[in-house]
Amino acid sequence: METRELVQKLEGIQTIESVMDILKVNKQMAIYYIHRLRKEGYVKTKKQSNNIRVYSISLNNKLRGKSYYEIINLYSPIKISTPIIYNIYGKEISLEETLIYAIKTKSLRTILASLALFKKINDWKKLYHLAKENNVERQVGALYDLSHKIIKVRRMNNKFRNNALPKEKDKFEYIIQGLKSNDFIDIEKKWKVYIPFNKKDLEGYK
């Protein structure tokens, strides 16, 4: 079987048993195929608490870049699958950049999962600079206040808050077009930004 065909069939999270099932082969052959793919860089192995090995098989593993989604999944209790490949090479991805990327995706689940990043974000100067560059200062502020209601977060720097708060002439903006909150109207008014979540959406953080 060609490597690409093998990767396509096994893409995702597998165990030896699931590999045997998918490829309709015996255990020895399943181990051989995993070994072959690992040698070529397509497999990441993890051991579960019950000692079972779990194989994450993907074409992306071979490329060795790091993605924003990996960073979000590292810190968030809400795990997301990778809708698109956006790999970064040769530099450490900061949490601040990851948050801005998440907001710019305009994806409900990605933004929801990224709220957990506020637990670790502490470079407010960098965050403000990135937010301003991408015109999402108020969105960041509103999402911070939302996170503050559901998880323990680091204190937002006053300079960030003062600079990001809306001016009188500013109009309301959406984070995700057309989505408003019924439960967080206070935050929406403060930042002039519509929050795309209700209380029920945030249950994953309990």
Partner 1 sequence: MITIDQQQKLLLNISRRLTRKITIYAIGGTAMMFLGFKDSTLDIDLVFENEKDREVFKEAITSLGYLSMDAIAVYGKKRNTPEMFKLSDERFDLFINEVIDFIFSDNMRRRAEQIHQFEDKLILKIADPHDIILMKCATDRIKDKDDARRIINSTKINWNLIIDEAKNQMELGKNRAVFDLGCFLEDIKTGMNLDIPMDVLDKLFLIVEKQAKDKRNIQ
Binding site for partner 1 (CB under 8 A): 2, 4-5, 7-8, 59, 62-65, 84-91
Instruction: Measure the CA–CA gap between 157 and 179, rounded to whole angstroms.
Output: 28
Q: How far apart are CA 135 and CA 137, in angstroms?
A: 6
Looking at the Cβ atoms of 12 and 77, the one nearer to partner 1 is 12
Q: How far is the CB of 85 from partner 1 (least distance, A)?
A: 4
CB closer to partner 1 out of 54 and 88: 88
Q: Are strands 12-14 and 173-174 parallel, antiparallel or unpaired?
A: unpaired
Closer to partner 1 by CB, 61 or 157: give it: 61
User: Which residue number, 84 or 158, has a Cβ lying nearer to partner 1?
Assistant: 84
The two three-digit tokens of residue 64, written as one number? 């060795």
Cβ atoms 10, 36 nearer than 8 A: no
**Residue 138 burial class via C-beta count within 10 angstroms: exposed 0-12, middle 13-18, buried 19 and up:** buried
Q: Between 29 and 63, whose beta carbon lies closer to partner 1?
A: 63
CA dist., res. 142 & res. 87, Å (int): 28
What are the beta bridge partners of residue 14? 55
**Least Å distance between CB 89 and partner 1?**
5
Instruction: Work out how close the CB of 23 gets to partner 1 at its nearest, in angstroms, rounded to a whole number.
Output: 17
CB of 176 to partner 1, least distance (A): 19
CB of 31 to partner 1, least distance (A): 23
